[in-house]
Structure 1
Amino acid sequence: MHLATSAIVLTALPHGEHGAVVRFLTPDDGLQAGYVRGGRSRRIRPTLQPGNVVALELRARVDTQLTAATVELVTSRAGLAFDRLTAAATEWLATVTAALLPEGQAHARLHAGLDALLGGMSAGIPAADTAAGIARYELLLLAELGFGLDLSQCAATGSTEELVYVSPRSSQAVSRGAGAPYAAKLLPLPALLREDRAATGWLGVDDALTTTGWFLERNLLIGRAAELLTARARLVAIVRAAAESAASAAAETIVAPSPRGD
């Protein structure tokens, strides 16, 4: 086995005295794992930070042998670790991807989506865009693993107008009129999950994370993967704190007196 490709570093776990077993997401070959000799050393450890892009080479003589990996840093995203939201987001996105994807199956859309979101975070996109991107990535992750939501039309009427709910049973959209009598039992469907659109600030972010989180917990974060729910809860708490801070700052701006005092 020999593979040479670019890859996003997802997780690195200690193995032996100095090495690390690292999971990578590649554009064409999906999730790949390999043993990096000296992966815990001062020289190589910074390269293996989650979110970094590396030039990856994997080699194994036989199928039963632990694949040997060599890496060379292409793009460092070390700065993500210095902000509370981006650090938590990077940890969650990398860990959940590594935990849920089967090895060796191509997921080009997931790779492109994750790379774009991590790149945007590294470039300093607003916190609201980061939070919206997390929800969209979770929606994509559900779809790629066979649990996609049908948000194109109302499950009850076939209407494409005023789709504001998601049925937790059918995973389909529900219109405002059809869902009104059952609103307490339905999940919210904000616009940011329905449309490929520019950022809309914090509008709908909390609802989006509530809905994607419900389906993740029901369909994917089960068994051993359920341990990841604690990490996601921490991330959601940080997102909500950031949203509240932004709302408070906006309110203070509105009520602040003008320089002339009128």
Structure 2
Amino acid sequence: MPVLITSGIVCALRAHGEHGAVARLLTPDHGLVAGYVRGGRSRALRPVLLPGNAVKAEFRARTEDQLASLTVELEHSRAPLLGEPLPAAAIDWACALTATALPEGTPYPTLYEAFDGVLGAVEAAPAARGWAAALVRYELLLLAELGFGLDLNRCAATGSADELAFVSPRSAAAVSRAGAEGYEARLLPLPPFLLQGGAGDWPQIMDGLRLTGFFLERSVLTERRADVLAARERLVDRLKRAVA
């Protein structure tokens, strides 16, 4: 990657040196890409490099193994959302999850579109219910893209596709009401909106977050989960308070 010019979404930023920063961007065709931004913590660049912002990026590196230098130009700012507790928590979590879970340099075009869609939904929706279901679906898609997808097509116990209502925490497969009889307490609820579409009501959304959260913690965020999952816990706590 001697030179790469691309659109991207800022996912993470960390200080590097006295004034610089390393930014990690999710790009449409190259996946997660990191670069060093000279003056990245300056007054001019701090508002550009906020997580969730869409930028035009130019990466330059002498070799494939070298950390690229990065220059950015703001295409779309989501800074106004960061003053609202729930949207800010949603953006913080979605960006932290993406930056932590994905390997660098692996293209995930479907995931990029979904990620951009979630951020757009947070921006457009007047209330959290308008984007919370999209966030659950994004987490579900991320699990699948990383090889930890849930099998929600047929019951693991009976083979039936009817009345799927639970997911086995062991096999990550759906279980029907008939197949779950007597074992409901050991299973995770499967919210209908993940099968039928739509936004779902708040109990379904909270069940969806519990479902995806269980598998993200078990399969994806195993080594770095303490710091990253704190952002998710803040989001879930704010959602609970918002609908109480």
How far, CA to CA, are the matches of 1:200 and 1:211 in structure 2? 14
* TM-score (normalizing by structure 1): 0.89
How far, CA to CA, are the matches of 1:75 and 1:229 in structure 2? 27
- Structure 2 residue 132 is the aligned partner of structure 1 residue 139: no
Q: Which runs of 5+ in 1 are unaligned?
A: 245-262
Kept after mapping to 2: 8 A contact 1:129/1:201: no
Residue equivalent to 1:32: 33
How far, CA to CA, are the matches of 2:111 and 2:137 in structure 1? 11
Kept after mapping to 2: 8 A contact 1:60/1:68: yes
Residue equivalent to 1:13: 14
Residue equivalent to 1:121: 122
Kept after mapping to 1: 8 A contact 2:86/2:128: yes
How far, CA to CA, are the matches of 1:123 and 1:158 in structure 2? 40
Q: Which runs of 5+ in 2 are unaligned?
A: none
Instruction: Give the Å deviation of 1:226.
Output: 3.7
* TM-score (normalizing by structure 2): 0.96
Specify the structure having the higher radius of gyration (Cα). Answer: 1
Residue equivalent to 2:239: 239
Root mean square deviation of aligned Cα: 1.2
Kept after mapping to 2: 8 A contact 1:10/1:24: yes
1:2-56 deviation digits (Å, cap 9, x = unpaired): 1111000001111111111000000110000000111111111101011110001
How far, CA to CA, are the matches of 1:156 and 1:124 in structure 2? 39
Kept after mapping to 1: 8 A contact 2:10/2:54: yes
Residue equivalent to 1:106: 107
1:147-183 deviation digits (Å, cap 9, x = unpaired): 0000011111111111000001111000011102110
How far, CA to CA, are the matches of 1:202 and 1:63 in structure 2? 46
Kept after mapping to 2: 8 A contact 1:217/1:226: no
Kept after mapping to 1: 8 A contact 2:10/2:26: yes
Kept after mapping to 1: 8 A contact 2:20/2:41: yes
SS state of the match for residue 3, structure 1? strand
Residue equivalent to 1:57: 58
How far, CA to CA, are the matches of 1:234 and 1:15 in structure 2? 27
Identity of aligned residues (%): 53
The 3 A distance-change label for structure 1 pair 112 and 17 is: same
SS state of the match for residue 182, structure 2? helix
Kept after mapping to 2: 8 A contact 1:79/1:122: no
